[in-house]
Amino acid sequence: MPDRPLFLERASFRRRRLGDAARVMPVLALLLVLVPVWWMPERISSAGGAIWLFGLWAALIVAIWMLHRTLRRADATTLRASRAITDPRPDDHAV
């Protein structure tokens, strides 16, 4: 795609990498949930396994929350930056 810039400034670069992280997230979650059960089903079936599973689940939710929060902020920043470039007038209502 010839229209895309070859290199990005720092904020956009960060934003793209966060997008990559958002793609990796479900794959990582799937692996974390599947592998231990294939590996040692007996141990996961016990009370300790339940605690481990729910702990993992909670950590996953927190991770998604943090990732989405960062992504939204990054989006807002890049949006402001692109607005500032295309429209030099100060826009206080910008997200």
Pick the closer one to another protein by CB: 45 or 82: 45
Residue closest to 75 by CA, chosen among 93, 60, 94, 88: 94
Nearer to another protein (CB atom), residue 11 or residue 21: 21
Residue 88 DSSP SS3: coil
Nearest to residue 80, comparing CAs of 61, 95, 65? 95
Which residues sit at the interface with another protein, rule CB under 8 A? 19, 22-23, 25-26, 28-30, 33-34, 37-38, 41-42, 44-51, 53-54, 57-58, 60-62, 64-65, 67-68, 71-72
